[in-house]
Amino acid sequence: MEKEAQWPGPDGLIPALPKNASNAAWHTRRFLDEILIEERIIGTKVADISFELWGKKFSSPIMMPAFSHLNKAGLDHKPMEEYARAAKNLGLVNWVGMESDEDYKRIADIGAETIRIIKPFEDHEKIRSQMTFAVRNKALAVGIDIDHSIGADGEKDVVDGEKMGTLTEEDLESFAGFAHQLGVPFVAKGVLSARDASACKRAHVDAIVVSHHHGRLPFAVPPAMVLPEIKKVSGKMIVFADCSVDDGRDAYKLLALGAEAVSTGRAILPGLLKEGTPAVEEKIHQMNRQLKELMGYTGVAGLTDFDPTVLWYHGRHF
């Protein structure tokens, strides 16, 4: 019997799923692992990975994820606050997903520069209310999970008893305009096509996250695969990316393909749930070292110096 292939994950080697599996996370992991890197060592320098976003300076383009609900896991510590504290201590962008206003405030009070991502509630006034609350609590930006509209049954999704709604380009433009009136940038999270990226640009969205939400869509295209096409149409929008950013090498590949910054999620999750802030900080330090190592081996002195031609996929340059 042929031995089943394995792929690296945040907790070590994990078995590959069957080739016809619909699991988007598996396809994303496989695609990232098959991207190889060309050495460009002559004349290289020690890399500077500092990152600037909307007038704020950060130590690294590796950001925290938009986790939700982790405080409900029944642990003796508060994971939502713990990873926010790691973001503050390390000087990283923090993201927060679906939380009540009260819980969001406790997280925001940690003091990290935080982006609040709000679910696409069918009640649009709730979206505006949560945007307003986030800005009053010093959010760096606000945004919407655009890929959380449809559930696994093909109907409008329901999350924690809250009914979601579908979004039009006009809806996005309205929410972006509302965010701008509040004085903050607006982010669309869950963009996975050049078509939707173009719609976001027309709607005056400030930034997008290229993401499949760790596999909400069966057979979803890996973010790294579609990122070059999205960059062609993104214009002045900032482009972030996530999904399967398990180490600094994954981060390097997405940055080389055009992402300005990336979020890591499941890579920090085991340590976050077990040990809290120290484990998250240790993992991020490791990822930063890996990112700087590859930048040094490829002559990338800073985040504006990436060149996608350093990447090879099945014997060809990107």
Joined tokens for residue 310: 């350093």
Rounded distance, CA 160 to CA 111, Å? 27
- Give burial (CB, 10 Å; 0-12/13-18/19+) of 183: exposed
Q: How far is CA 276 from the centre of its chain?
A: 20
Nearest Cα neighbor of 284 from 259, 251, 255 is: 251
- Whether 214 is a known active-site residue: answer no
Buried-exposed string 122-143: b where 16+ CB fall within 10 A, e elsewhere:
beeeebbebbbbbbebebbbbb
Between CA 269 and CA 288 the distance in angstroms is: 17
Q: Kindly report the CA angle at 94 between 88 and 97, in degrees rounded to 5?
A: 140
Nearest to 303 by CA among 311, 295, 293: 295
Catalytic hit among 148, 212, 213, 317: 213
Residues labelled catalytic: 213
